[in-house]
């Protein structure tokens, strides 16, 4: 007898969610078959890369120059992402320091065939640091 290893289990329906109204939509992307892992779900590293891109949008407005990702303070996968899902990335600035900015990113997926029905798939906190032309931290303009 083989065990069903799909996630979530077939008898579990992910809870419907509403995208946050207190965050800005900064990216929408549709993962393709080349982005899958060995189980046929979207590879977590692909999702993390998209979160890094989405998370950098708001800090770029404030930093006005080069920046680098220095920390992933938190990354929680709540649901798998499937090929063809429409992934929406919402972001807000949580903290602005002397040289760094921490951003919260929430990711919601909707099936291409059932648009408007969202499921929260990922939540992350990412910190970026403003850097100069030599790659050293610099103060963020006020």
pLDDT band at 13 (very low <50, low <70, confident <90, very high): low
Give per-residue pLDDT as tens, 36-91.
998 889 999 999 999 999 999 999 999 999 999 999 999 999 999 999 999 999 99
pLDDT score at 141: 87
Q: Which two tokens stand for residue 69?
A: 């990702």
> What whole-number distance in Å separates Cα of residue 54 and Cα of residue 105?
7
What is the pLDDT of the chain when averaged over all its residues?
Answer: 90
Please tell me whether the peptide bond between 8 and the residue prior to it is cis, using omega within 30 degrees of 0: yes
Whether residue 18 is contained in a domain is answered as no
Whether residue 44 is contained in a domain is answered as yes
Average pLDDT of the segment spanning 101-117: 92
* Structural domains counted in the chain: 1
Whether residue 53 is contained in a domain is answered as yes
């Amino acid at each position: 007898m083989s065990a069903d290893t799909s996630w979530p289990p077939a008898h579990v329906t992910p809870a419907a969610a509403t995208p946050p109204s207190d965050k800005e939509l900064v990216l929408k992307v549709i993962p393709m078959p080349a982005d899958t892992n060995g189980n046929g779900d979207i590879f977590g590293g692909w999702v993390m890369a998209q979160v890094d891109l989405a998370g950098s949008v708001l800090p770029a407005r404030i930093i006005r120059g080069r920046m680098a990702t220095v920390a992933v303070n938190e990354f929680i996968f709540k649901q798998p992402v499937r090929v063809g899902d429409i992934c929406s990335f919402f972001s807000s600035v949580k903290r602005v320091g002397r040289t760094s900015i921490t951003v919260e990113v929430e990711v919601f997926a909707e099936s291409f065939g059932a648009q408007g029905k969202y499921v929260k798939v990922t939540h992350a906190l990412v910190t970026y640091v403003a850097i100069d032309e030599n790659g050293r931290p610099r103060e963020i303009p006020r």
